[in-house]
Structure 1
Amino acid sequence: MTKQLFPLALGGLAIGTTEFIIMGLLPDVASSIDVSIPVAGHLISAYAFGVVIGAPTLVALSAKFPPKSILIVLMILFTIFNAFSIIAPDYNTLLMSRFFAGLPHGAFFGVGTVVATKLAQKGKEAQAISSMFTGLTVAILLMVPFVTFIGHNLHWRYAFGIVSLLGLLTILSLYLWLPKLKPLKTVTFKEELEFFKTIKAWHILTIVAIGFGGLFAWFSYIAPLLIHVSQFDASQVSYLMIVAGAGMVVGNIMGGYLADKKDPATATIMLLSFMVISLILVFFLSENKIISILLTFICGALAMSIGTPINMVMLKSAKHSEMLAAAFMQAAFNVANSLGAFFGGIPLFFGLSFSYPSLVGAFMAGTGALLCIIFYKKYQQSF
């Protein structure tokens, strides 16, 4: 990773930390502000809703400005809104702060994705994008467990203090090390939107929402899977999550490499297909502890490896609309999160075991792979 790309990775670390720490701190937050855990769970949804709303909106409003300025302003907003969580006196205030903290998330990654390709050596654009998402994977691997530990043992508000500090460090690194680039926008907003009037654009977004949703059908219920099916002690789950995080770090690097060596659509099809196989193996073999640990690593790796290739598919397809397209991709990833958790939970509603969400995930990933094959056959000349 170059010094120029480091600020983008640091931003990914900050964003990934604030996105996932709330999940581990829900009981602490709920107790502190005197609400039930299900009600506190709306804090997760509020953040995701902020991402979906903010990604295209903030990019549209800021696209005519230099990308360095855009990223700094987005991270200032991120830092301020996360700081509000430190002092939020009640549930409603905290809910609003989580929504506003989500607004810059997708826009940062959207602008950062395009900036990374501009800073990359020719033929290594996908690896540059994966460098930015390294921060996100390191957040899942190390920062989230660490900050969750601090928040649980001291106070959950300290967790958001650490996130705000990461935001400040990102602002400083963007100012010092990110090169000045000309505004990335070359067409009007109305012209940018023309791409989203095409079937091609929504085909790609559907691949993300359904195919990547397969990851979240599995990952949303990984803790009860490991406890009730693999028979691990509940105290061991946090360590096993580090295994999944390590897989995601490896998968992120692998995805960037594959997307540069192969056309990104082919890489996406291949990785989604492997994801289907792995999730089916989770369904059948998770009762074996050793195999369960191995599959946790493999599924984590395959899940994160898909992100860079499908982003490259979108960027290659959305000529002159790259920033808005990249922002819409972040919204689609959050839709995938919601769909995966929802559909993965349906078998549990009917009393089936915690291995069944992975089977739902396999079906979703398989549908995504099929949609990607159809896309490739129809638009392969684009790659």
Structure 2
Amino acid sequence: MSQPPANAATSATARQSTARVRLAILALSLGGFGIGVTEFAAMGLLRLIADGFDITEPQAGHIISAYALGVVVGAPLLTVWTSRWRRRTLLVILMVLFTIGNTAAAFAPTVEALIVARFIAGIPHGAYFGVASLVAASLAGPGRQARAVAQVLLGLSVANVIGVPVATWLGESLGWPSAFLAVGVIGAATVVAILVVVPEPTGGVVVRAREELAALARPQVLATLAVAAIGFGGMFAVYTYIQWTMVDVAGIDRSWMPGVLAVYGLGMVVGNVVGGIVADRDLDRGLVIITTVMTAILALFAIAAHHPVSAVIGLFLVGATGSALVPGLQSRLMRHAGRGQTLAAALNHSALNAANALGAWIGGVVIALGFGYTSPALAGATLALVGLAVLVPAVLAARRGKAAPQAN
């Protein structure tokens, strides 16, 4: 029997390897999808939860804060504590913890138990995205790393288009616990998928906790986290109060809001893909351009919000520009963190949750001061501008640092 040509065998091996990488990144993205569903669907279930436990909506809102607190606390602690673990093993354990938290939420007998379960579900959020981003980047190889990171984060964006509306429908039809139980199923499926198709990255090095923490002494890491925590808050300033803006200002019927939010989610998907491509081509310049465009879009949204068509288009662009920023921020942290890449990448999601809280708070302040429901967009543009003011000097400093050795 004749043997196939050597080049044909090599080509087949390459195709198999590429297919394996795609499946692995898809498995990692599935985990991101589950995280996105549980994070954002909870906001649409608050009224049902409040009615179920006979509490006020502000009291039910503590489950949102509990999840965010879990993210902020869990990302650095888990990453440092598990710094010497094998990454594939860590991914499995993180998703098991995520599954336990969401399943416990589905069966919570009291609101206090639900708050604890939500805190537990939030703990692996940042660490998962940090580790998954590093695994995806290592599998993709040079020149495609930012796109691989974007594909992992794409699950988070797709959740806003598909997962959140479905979870909300489940909650309305079968009761709010069914939504959290469905997320638990997604978490369990992710565990299986990781075990089956995600390989342990080759060439990995053992990093001590002290080396991970050393990343926090790097000015470029701190500057990038500041951009995430402040600049990204502009998007959340708009998103938190979007129902009031669209209904009371744009004049859109309340029944159309699920479709409107799906448009926002679609913008996030598009932005995530574009952001990954831009970051691979020119990371720092791409981040500056995207942040500048996001600032302008947020400011223009205050005008666009007065007409239903322009309001929906503007919301799409708000989601797209905000989401486009995330892969670049994640990649920049990984680039400048030295041996502390895992912690830096995980802290990105702590910073983004801080941005969520900051944007929502500032948006609420300007509304309470009587500036109307378009004022969060202007406040958001200000936050984005502050983020840009932090980013530009950091980029210039990084370029000077690269040029200095050449001058010697």
TM range (shorter): over 0.9
Give TM-score, length-normalised by structure 1. 0.97
Amino acid paired to 1:34: D
Distance 1:127 1:191 in 2: 27
- State the match for 2:104 in structure 1: 84
Structure 1 residue 192, shift from structure 2 partner: 2.2
- State the match for 2:328 in structure 1: 309
- The 8 Å contact of residues 66 and 182 in structure 1, kept in 2 or not, is answered as no
1:32 aligns with 2:52: yes
- State the match for 1:237 in structure 2: 257
Amino acid paired to 2:321: L
1:265 aligns with 2:284: yes
Structure 1 residue 378, shift from structure 2 partner: 1.1
- State the match for 1:352 in structure 2: 371
Amino acid paired to 2:305: S
1:279 aligns with 2:298: yes
1:210 aligns with 2:193: no
Larger radius of gyration: 2
Deviations 1:157-196 (A, max 9, x none): 0001100110111011000000123584533211221221
- State the match for 2:133 in structure 1: 113
Structure 1 stretch 187-196 or stretch 69-78: which is displaced more?
187-196
Distance 2:332 2:380 in 1: 22
Structure 1 residue 285, shift from structure 2 partner: 2.4
1:58 aligns with 2:84: no
- The 8 Å contact of residues 83 and 207 in structure 2, kept in 1 or not, is answered as no
- Cα 1:7/1:76, change in 2 over 3 Å: same
- State the match for 2:220 in structure 1: 200
State the Cα RMSD in Å.
Answer: 1.3
Amino acid paired to 2:386: T
- The 8 Å contact of residues 133 and 252 in structure 1, kept in 2 or not, is answered as yes
Secondary structure of 1:2 counterpart: helix
Secondary structure of 1:59 counterpart: helix
- State the match for 2:16 in structure 1: none
Structure 1 residue 200, shift from structure 2 partner: 2.9
Question: What percentage of aligned pairs have identical amino acids?
Answer: 35
Give TM-score, length-normalised by structure 2. 0.91
- The 8 Å contact of residues 215 and 341 in structure 2, kept in 1 or not, is answered as no
Structure 1 residue 62, shift from structure 2 partner: 1.5
Distance 2:74 2:197 in 1: 26
1:290 aligns with 2:312: no
Distance 2:50 2:202 in 1: 46
Structure 1 residues without counterparts, runs of 5 or longer: none
Following TM superposition, the consecutive aligned residue runs of length 4 or more in structure 1 with deviations greater than 3 angstroms are 182-187
Distance 1:362 1:52 in 2: 24
Distance 1:350 1:309 in 2: 35
- State the match for 2:199 in structure 1: 179
Structure 2 residues without counterparts, runs of 5 or longer: 1-20, 403-408
1:227 aligns with 2:247: yes
- Cα 1:185/1:43, change in 2 over 3 Å: farther
